[in-house]
Each structure stands twice: as structure tokens, then as C-alpha cells.
Structure 1
Amino acid sequence: MADALLRLLAWLSPSFPIGGYTYSHGVEQAVEAGFVRDRASLAGWVAFILEHGAGRSDAVLFAAVHRAVEAGDEASFVRALERADVLRGSREMALESSAQGTAFLSTVAAAWPLPGLDRWQAVIAAERRAPAHAVAVALCAALAGIPLSAALAGFLHSVAANLVSAGVRLVPLGQTDGQRALAALEPVAARVAAWAETASPDDFGSRAPMVDWTSMTHETQYTRLFRS
């Protein structure tokens, strides 16, 4: 179990080379528009993404992929792969997810050659789809024997941490306020993870139109630090 924990920590670390620091998931435009302006509004914005936006939908997909890989169910895996690929609110969100997913699988394959990974990479290649970040992490977690509960909670925490880090740089906020925001998001990530662990693929979906709007508007924002 210690080996699995160490591996999960490595894969979800900000230093893992997937370029996560270059994406803000619309937070940059949310700051520009005045929706995010301090620690409380940043924590509230990220909490909404976790509970109602991409955090919710990715959590359902993560659980579906993890179960499919454990069961060797390629058909269910492909369905999750397709949903993750097509149901994104904007071009930038699609890039954010697929670029990180592709980089994640490539790095894991190079540094942690997991038994069975070649099989699932072949399934992905046959579908001609770039894997979403949630799909890639869930696939590798299942192959590594990392329990769904730990892997899912860790994934959602890493999503929150990346968005908080973007907010700290954009508002800007102090590093301590960033950690306070992240601490406030712990129960939110835990709650969404616990719900998604037993959710059905039919529960997939999101209801965060303002987050989608900030992402689409970000595409034409005059000055930008982030890719999304």
C-alpha cells in the first residue's frame, strides 16, 4: 500500500510533467471579469467547479474508467473515453484535458511501465482519441492497484490545487491564503469523490454555464498568462 501511495503522490504532484501550471480552466477570465477577486471567491469558484462542473463529470468518468480497467471491460472503457473527449464546454477545455491526458500516459509509460498498459493504449489508439486527463489517471491507477477511493480523492484534490495555484498568481493572493483556500476545499473534494465512487455513468454531466462562459471568453482575452 505504501508503494501505491507514493506512486499516486508522484503522479498527482505539481512537478509531474503534464504542463498543468499552464492551464487555469477559465479562472484567468473569472479574475478579469471580477468573479474571483479574493480568497473566499476563489474557494467558492473552485468548489463550484468540483461540485457542478468538470470536477463532477470527471469524477464520474474516473470511477467508470477505473472499474472498467479492473474488470477488463473494453466496451465500458471506450464509452467513457468517448464521453470524456466530446463533452467539453469549450475548445480550450478540450485542449486542457486532452493535452494533459496524453502527456500523463506518455510519462507513466516511460517511467512506470505498468503491466497491461500497452493493451489499453492500443484501445485508445484504435479509437483515434486523445485521452482526457481523468481517463489517463484512472487507467494507470487501476493498473497500479491503487484503490478507487484513494485515487479519486487524490485526483480531485490535484484539480483543486492546480486551480487555486492559478488563482494565487492571478488575483494575486499570498501563498498562505492559497493554502487556506485549498484547506477549505478538502471537504468538497472528499464529498464529490465519495459520491462519484458509487455513481453510475448515467449521472455524468455538469451544470456550470458561467465556467464555460469564462473559458470561451478567455479564447479572445486581450492579455493571457494561461492556455485556458
Structure 2
Amino acid sequence: MSTEPAASPSEPLSAQQGAALYRLMTWLSPSFPVGAFSYSSGLEWAVEAGDVTDAASLRDWLAAMLEYGAGFCDGVFLAHAYRAVANNDERGLREIAELSVAFVASAERHLETTTQGRAFIEIVRNAWASEGLERAVTACDGALAYPVAVGLISAVHGVALAATLHAFLHAVVSNWISAGARLVPLGQTDSQRVLAALEPVVISTGERALVASLDDLGSATFRADLAGLRHETQYTRLFRS
């Protein structure tokens, strides 16, 4: 049991903590222009197929994606990319970047993660120039998946890994819910209820991803993977994935 006194609730953030929080909130805000709004990660096909029809089925679908699919795997890639940059492990970073791009299950998911990753790097490069960024990007030697880009940038800027990981998963699930709200459709209150219901899943997934090894990577969301593949030939589409 810790004997250290608890921090005062009114204690201000340090300048460094404030800058880190400011950047993290900006980078993972829905308004940050990486084009996330144009992707549904296969959810559009799931709605057309009748797998997702209301708030409850959307919650269940997204909980599975978080715990057993892309959410967890992307969290692991983010954490390992962050640590590789922090440890100046360029070879390890290159291997993580290659694996993360190869791990996606469909052409559209590949487009989704690499397009957002590239946009994320370019915007931060131009707005928040930082020492070490170019070296880390060069080490990746090719396409950057979105979670690797977020982990890389956060490490370069000294933003805490745990906070980055939880903020990333929150941003991902928020975008999924936004897509579901337009497709099902759902009202704003139901959308927020789904987000609230997924809070413990986001937290537990982040905790697992934080300590997972690359050997722990794997998914069991076969229906979601099929949805991503089927979406490629879906006749009428609002989203790019």
C-alpha cells in the first residue's frame, strides 16, 4: 500500500504535461483531418447484411472488434512502435511497421490504415515539427499503419504511452459509432449510450494491449473480416471500407 500523499485535485498540470495533453486531444480528436469519417471498417456491409440493426447489436459488434479483433491488434502495434522509438530500436520499428501493414485482412482495410497513417504523419510533421521524427519515419521504410504512426509520433513528442493507447482506442471506437449512427441509423443519445457501454471494454483492451507481446497478436472476428472483404464489392456504398 502506497504511503505517498495523494495529489491535490486542484494541482495544476506542469507545462510539459499540459502540452502533452493538448497534443493528444488534438491528434485524436474527430476533427483532426486524417479522413477517418470516410471509413466504416466493414460496418456498412454488416448493416446491409442485417448483423447490425440497432444500438444493442452495434454495441456487441464493436465490443467484439475491440476485444478480439482490430482494436486489440492495433493497440499492440501502437505500444510496440512507441517503445521501439523510445528505445531507438530502428530495426524493431521497421519490423513492427511491416507486420502491422501485413496484418490487415482486406484491401480496403489496408487502404484505411495506411491512408490515415500517412495523413497523420504529414499533418503532425507540418504543424508540430520535432527532432527525431524524420529518422523514425525513415526507419519504417514504407507504408505506415495508423496505430504505428500514432505510437511513433507520441513517442517522439514524449506523450505518455498509456494515455496515448487509451485515447487512440477511444478515437477508433468513436469513429465506428459515428459510422454506425449514420448507417443504422441511430440518434445522438443512443450513440452516446453505446459509447458509454463500451467504456470498460476500451479500458480493458488498452490494459491488455499495453502488456501484450507480438506473439499475443491474433483475432477471432471472422464475421467482421468477411464484412471488410464483402464491402469491396458492395453495390451501394457511403464509406470507403
Fold agreement, TM-score > 0.5:
yes
Alpha-carbon separation, structure 2, partners of 1:14 and 1:29: 23
Q: In structure 2, how many angstroms separate the alpha carbons of the residues matched to 1:138 and 1:114?
A: 15
Q: Deviations over 1:6-55 (max 9, x none)?
A: 10010001111110000000000000011111111111111111111111
Task: Tell whether 2:163 aligns with 1:147.
Answer: no
2:99 aligned with 1:86: no
1:10 matched to 2:29? The reply is: no
Query: How far apart are 1:122 and its partner, in Å?
Result: 1.7
Residue aligning to 1:97: 113
* Distance in 2 (alpha carbons) for counterparts of 1:92 and 1:155: 20
Alignment equivalent of 2:81, drawn from 65, 75, 83: 65
Q: Does 1:219 align with 2:232?
A: yes
- Count the aligned residue pairs: 225
Distance of 1:116 and 1:171 partners within structure 2: 44
Residues 36-185 of structure 1 correspond to what in structure 2 (within 5 A)?
Answer: 36-124=52-140, 127=141, 129-185=142-198
4+ runs deviating over 4 angstroms = none
Q: Please state whether the residue corresponding to 1:227 is helix, strand or coil.
A: coil
The structural deviation recorded for 1:207 is 1.4
Over alpha carbons, which structure has the higher Rg? 2
Task: Report the Cα distance in structure 1 between the residues aligned to 2:223 and 2:121, rounded to whole angstroms.
Answer: 31
Offset from partner CA, 1:70-121 (integer Å, 9 cap, x none): 1011111111101111111100000000000000000000001122101112
Corresponding residue of 2:205: 192
Coordinate RMSD, CA, aligned: 0.8
> Which structure 2 segments of 5+ residues have no match?
1-16
Question: How far does residue 195 in structure 1 lie from its aligned partner after superposition?
Answer: 1.0
**What is the distance in 2 between the residues matched to 1:205 and 1:115?**
34
CA distance in 1, matches of 2:63, 2:109: 18
| Amino-acid identity (%) | 50
**Which residue identity lines up with residue 27 of structure 1 in the other structure?**
L
User: What one-letter code is carried by the residue in structure 2 that aligns with 1:64?
Assistant: H
Q: Structure 1: where are the runs of 5+ without partners?
A: none
CA shift, 1:159, in A, is 0.5
Give, in whole Å, the separation in 2 of the partners of 1:212 and 1:187.
24
| Separation (CA, whole Å) in 1 of partners of 2:137 and 2:173 | 27
Q: Does structure 1 retain, via aligned residues, the 8 Å contact 2:91–2:139? A: no
Question: Is the contact made by 2:97 and 2:144 (CA closer than 8 Å) also made in structure 1?
Answer: yes
C-alpha separation in 2, matches of 1:204 and 1:102: 23
Aligned amino acid, residue 47 of structure 2: V
What is the TM-score of this pair, normalised by structure 2? 0.92
Q: Deviations over 1:112-160 (max 9, x none)?
A: 1122101112223xx2x21000000000011111111100000001010
More helix by share: 1
